[in-house]
Amino acid sequence: MNYVRKKLNYNYASNKHITGKGVTIAVMDTGIYQHSDFENRIIGFKDLINNRVGIYDDNSHGTHVSGICAGSGWLSNGKYAGMAPGCNIVMIKILDENGNGESTSVTEGINWILRNRQRYNIRLLNISVGTLPRTGADEKSAIIESVEDAWDKGIVVVAAAGNSGPAGYTITTPGISRKVITVGSSDDGQQDAFGRVKMNYSGRGPTLSCICKPDIVAPGMNITSCNAMNFRDGKAYSVKSGTSMSTPIVTGAIALLLEKYPDMGTRDVKIRIKERAENLGLPRNRQGWGALDIEHLLSD
């Protein structure tokens, strides 16, 4: 994350003391571990898989994603701090220990978020999971209707483009939604440090309904973030790659934006993302509007 923040001109946010304070990000994933880097900022947890009450993560993917969004970097002396280290996290566990889940869990999770958004001041929803669409009718699926309902009710939904590129039509659901902000990886032209992610993996548009996607790209390779330390390795941090990592980078950046401009609505945020992206000169269905840049996003 130290490399990512430097690449994204994060010093602007640091110098202005913008941390995402007062903003809550809902994350739908495998759960979350009570890592020291989250301090007391995990303010809500809902388990739709095992119906457990206590906070936990039996896979670590959700902890890693949440660390990118909101980790303080306390155990690494700030080296692996996330994008919005002052924001709050609400975790909705919709995936099991193997990272698998049902579409009904997504819709149930979004319904829970909508019922509790005022209680927790939820402004953002991060979805770093997805499935490949099979037919054009997927745009009218229950998942898409759910995320667009959340969007229409004022929650900025940020979804992964998926890791099935580089062919076209490989954006995953719910990233195919024309409303939500869909995130691809800006650095997928290199090998994962462990050789576990193929090159040029980031999902590419258009969608089966001929919508240009993704909307924006951010780094996703070899991202060091919080680890669920209940696993045998016992390590505080781990390295993962994919659009699952690119997505919370953008989500965290939007949390910074909403701290600075708390009255922004979903449409305002998306327009801002579009206007302030850095054009990489790549095809639209690979880069979207361009790459995330924190200084350009936040500056007046």
Alpha-carbon distance 247 to 253, whole Å?
10
Is 61 one of the catalytic residues? yes
Nearest to 61 by CA among 245, 203, 219: 245
Q: Which residue has the tokens 């997504």?
A: 106
Catalytically annotated residue among 37, 57, 60, 61: 61
**209 annotated active-site:** no
Q: Is 229 left (phi over 0), alpha (psi -120 to 50) or beta?
A: alpha
Burial 227-246 (b: 16+ CB within 10 A, else e): bbbeeeeeebbbbbbbbbbb
Active site residue 244: yes
CA 78, 80, 83, 88 dihedral sign is negative
Q: Which residues are tagged catalytic? A: 29, 61, 244
